[in-house]
């Protein structure tokens, strides 16, 4: 068996196309969806992500504002920036890029963001709505995973899903979305993690296996059930002297081995990653519609 590739770039492209109609409708009312991204420090990966988000806004003719500050700023200074954005009518979405410097309390900063501008979907208000199955701003990567499954007509209903990873960013929320009593969900979900005993015994039960543990090639071929759907969320840099940049990106799954066993698989890069940014744009447009009473 050779797995069919789940092309995140194509699904993200279709998502952006659908967003253009909503953005046009807002423009006719004099509304331009606006995203503000706050970058503290100069972490190379964060700088790259922030640049990608700003470019995505530009392509969709959305307003983008990037606020850069040195890692030496105080938490209060960062809170003041967020509070200013809360009251800025041009801004409908606020994103504070993670990770923050160690001297900052990331949760406290998240709590400062207005829930209706929380396009990361991390505020407890939005997390609560998600758990209750109520409409709200959903975390971008988990929602992107759900959209990928939907695009490839992979129905989790009645299936056993194993999520490897328990972060608040991916593992917990994607499990919460999959277990909902709703179309595109209704799965039986197990969360495994670094302390799970006999991890392979757990992953081999999965009809759908989601790897979000943040370690390269943690999921090997012998840990995957024949015909399973494999969603690889990991983006890990590994040294490669033959690569132009001196490194290459790999996922949490051994792609070469897994693709001979799985029925569907996401590549790294080009799988889940493009959907994360697409869903951020989706959340920003949704926030603009709700703030202005359009939807």
Catalytic residue at 120? yes
Q: 175 φ, ψ to 5°?
A: -65, -40
Best CA proximity match to 111, nearest among 100, 96, 99, 98: 96
Catalytic residue at 97? yes
Which one of 97, 118, 172, 207 is the catalytic residue?
A: 97
Which one of 116, 118, 120, 232 is the catalytic residue?
A: 120
Catalytic residue at 105? no
Catalytic residue set? 53, 97, 120
């Amino acid at each position: 068996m050779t797995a069919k590739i789940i092309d995140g770039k194509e699904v993200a492209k279709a998502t952006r196309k659908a967003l253009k109609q909503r953005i046009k409708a807002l423009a006719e009312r004099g509304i331009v969806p606006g995203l503000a991204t706050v970058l503290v420090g100069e972490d190379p990966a964060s700088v790259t992500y922030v640049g990608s988000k700003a470019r995505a806004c530009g392509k969709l003719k959305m307003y983008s504002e990037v606020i850069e500050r040195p890692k030496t700023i105080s938490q209060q200074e960062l809170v003041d920036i967020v509070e200013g954005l809360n009251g800025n009518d041009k801004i409908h979405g606020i994103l504070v890029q993670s990770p923050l410097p160690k001297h900052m309390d990331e949760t406290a900063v998240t709590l400062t963001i207005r829930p209706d501008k929380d396009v990361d979907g991390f505020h407890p208000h939005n997390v609560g709505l998600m758990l209750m199955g109520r409409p709200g701003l959903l975390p971008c990567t988990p929602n992107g995973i759900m959209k990928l499954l939907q695009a490839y007509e992979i129905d989790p209903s009645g299936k056993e899903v194993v999520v490897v990873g328990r972060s608040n960013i991916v593992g917990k929320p994607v499990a919460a979305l999959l277990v909902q009593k709703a179309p595109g969900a209704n799965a039986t979900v197990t969360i495994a993690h670094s302390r799970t005993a006999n991890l392979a015994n757990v992953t081999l039960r999965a009809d759908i296996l989601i790897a979000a543990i943040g370690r390269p090639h943690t999921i090997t071929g012998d840990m995957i059930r024949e015909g399973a759907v494999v969603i690889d969320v990991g983006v890990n840099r590994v040294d490669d002297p033959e690569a132009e940049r001196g490194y290459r990106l790999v996922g949490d799954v051994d792609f070469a081995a897994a693709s001979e066993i799985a029925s569907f698989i996401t590549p790294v890069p080009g799988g889940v990653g493009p959907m994360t940014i697409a869903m951020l744009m989706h959340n920003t447009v949704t926030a603009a519609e709700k703030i202005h009473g359009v939807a």
